[in-house]
Amino acid sequence: MTKITLDRETFKALASDTRLDILKTLDGKHLGLNEIAKVSNLNKATLHEHLTKLHEAGLIKKTERDGHKWVYYKLTWKGESLLHPENAKIVVLFTTTFIALWLGIIQLIWYIKGTVVEPASEFKASNTSGGFLLSKSLDVIQIVYQNPRYLYLAVGCFVLFTVFLCIALWRLWENRIPKL
């Protein structure tokens, strides 16, 4: 179970069953005062008080457009995380997934780019395995050495990317329908 920390204002806002019902009503929706009143069977003045408390606690967000008299409400990230704490884990999984992808791409670029090496005289006579001849002029030999460690790290990062992506998509698929 995910641990949820509540501040004083949030705790006060959640102390009412009516406000919890309002949060559940707004789950995944963008509703106006009339629509919430129909679902919750509350007087608009009473509902407005509850919505004000939830807004002050940072659990819902008011959307007002200039020149329009309608106000729409929806859950904030904080409100959604109270109803669906598993979503935070999914976000962390997706973040880790794409970090692994970027690290893999960087490692692959470093492997392909290689390192230009001017070998010592004893290395000139030996085999140039792990690299290829870049230039040979006036007794100067330059070799591009491709460190296989970068390739192994790139493959490892791509494997981690694939595993984390599968887990994140599976968790997202499992939580696609609210269980409230």
Output the DSSP codes for 35-90. HHHHHHT--HHHHHHHHHHHHHTTSEEEEE-TT---EEEEE-HHHHHHH-THHHHH
User: Are both 103 and 148 inside the same structural domain?
Assistant: yes
Identify whether 3 is part of a domain: no
User: Are both 78 and 134 inside the same structural domain?
Assistant: no
User: Are both 25 and 70 inside the same structural domain?
Assistant: yes
pTM of the model: 0.55
Identify whether 180 is part of a domain: no
User: Are both 166 and 96 inside the same structural domain?
Assistant: yes
CATH number at residue 33: 1.10.10.10
pLDDT > 50? residue 124: no
Non-local (6+) Cβ contacts of 174 within 8 A are: none
User: Are both 19 and 75 inside the same structural domain?
Assistant: yes
Which helix (H) or strand (E) covers residue 22, if one does? helix 17-26
Residue 55 domain boundaries: 8-83
Residue position matching structure tokens 């009143």: 37
Identify whether 1 is part of a domain: no
User: Are both 123 and 142 inside the same structural domain?
Assistant: yes
Identify whether 2 is part of a domain: no
pLDDT for the residue 122: 44
Rounded (10°) CA dihedral 40, 44, 50, 51: 90
User: Are both 144 and 68 inside the same structural domain?
Assistant: no
The 10s digit of each residue's pLDDT in 15-70 is 888 888 888 888 888 888 888 888 888 888 888 888 888 988 888 898 887 777 78
Buried b (16+ CB within 10 A) or exposed e, 146-169: beeebeebbeebbebbeebbebbe
The 10s digit of each residue's pLDDT in 137-160 is 656 666 778 888 999 999 999 999
Which of helix, strand or coil describes residue 134? strand
The 10s digit of each residue's pLDDT in 159-175 is 999 999 999 999 888 87
- Which of 83, 98, 121 is the endpoint of a domain? 83
Alpha carbon distance 120, 130 (integer Å): 16
**How many CB atoms are closer than 10 A to CB 64?**
9
- Which of 64, 83, 102 is the endpoint of a domain? 83
Number of domains observed in the structure of the chain: 2
- Which of 83, 112, 127 is the endpoint of a domain? 83
Backbone angles phi, psi at 114, to 5 degrees: 75, 180
Alpha carbon distance 111, 151 (integer Å): 6
